[in-house]
Structure 1
Amino acid sequence: MARVKVCPTCGYQNKSKALLCTNTEPKCNARLMNVVPTKPKPVEESAVGNVMASKTVTSTEPNLEIEDVIENPSSTSDCQHVLREGSDQCVYCLDVVGAGSTKPTEGAITPRMGIRLSHNEQFIEIADRVLVGRDQSISPIAEHIPLSFDNISRRHAELWVEGGKAYVKDAGSTNGTFINGDKLAAEVEQPVKAGDEIRFAADYTVIWEVCHG
């Protein structure tokens, strides 16, 4: 005969793997993690009244079983146990995890975005809006542009990252800005993704990269 866990609070007989009491009349939810499964007691020997004793382990209420506690991205802030699938309450500490309180993966690394200069393989991270051009007083990229690329305008283009996405915009340059060979319309922002080639004027190219390390 299958063993059961007898709730120490209300006397209800739960399945042997239940973590919380599933009695609904009245609702109990007492913790059963430390209760040792025993042989089920006859109905007349139940520690509670006839109404309680008549409720058997065949209840249609779902039990919280060990097999049901599977990995879920949400976890409570204190006990660190993962939640069972589809639930917002931890079966260990009974904390309720509300919307928006999902704990980020521990050790997660925010990707670094930027450009890889084709002429020397140097990587330059782009976090905010950056102006690309030959004028060092307004462009932090200017010092990385060799003097031989004199066809790049003083204010050639803009690069920036917003909401985890990258964009480029030609700033009205004389010789144009290109993504994978396609010329951009002036003053119109265009999204770029990892691996895209961005060319300023005739031959100064960079590769947009996303570094996860």
Structure 2
Amino acid sequence: MSITCETCGYDNNPTDAEYCDACGAELKSMAPTIIQPNPTITAPDIIPITPPGPGLEPPSAIPTPITSPGTRLESPSAIPTPPAPTTTSPARLIAKQTNAPQTEFSLNGLVVVGVFDPDSGPVDIDLENFDRGDTVSRLHAEIYPEFGRWMVKDLGSLNGTFLKPSGQTRFGARITTSMSLNPGDEISFGAVQFVFQQIMYLE
């Protein structure tokens, strides 16, 4: 150990010296300078990695499914719902007249209601021989299935087509657009009246 002089900076003075060997300044009040040796840095222990033995196999990676470009994976909720059936069940027109020349007409597809005429030819439902058949035009109206329902449409008849919904007491005004039919509805072609009936299938 040695004492460093604060006056001139000389640091090789003996520990028991009272005055600086370089400048002669008094050294009694100065504490000795202790030079600490540099600390030794110890390298960390290195643990070697032991390769697996011949009987051990490394874990296999989980394979990733491969999809071709443009392939879209759909969730169960994306499965389309099949459309509801649109088949129209058969129906029929029941004559309201007593002693009608024909009591009913079956409906299985589009039918034209009217009377025979040499120019326009026969129609599907001929009302010429019905009481008040003279109020029916040659091409009076048509009845047809559409999206699971039966519809009635006037074809520009002279005396009109009228509809009385089931449960009502009076006919409405002459129809000018296609109207849907429900079981029990009454239809009047001119003055000849029928009741609409439909065979409903149970699900």
TM-score bracket relative to the smaller structure: 0.3 to 0.5
TM norm structure 2: 0.46
Rg (Cα) greater in structure: 2
TM norm structure 1: 0.44
If asked which structure has higher relative contact order (CA below 8 Å, sep 6+), I would say 2
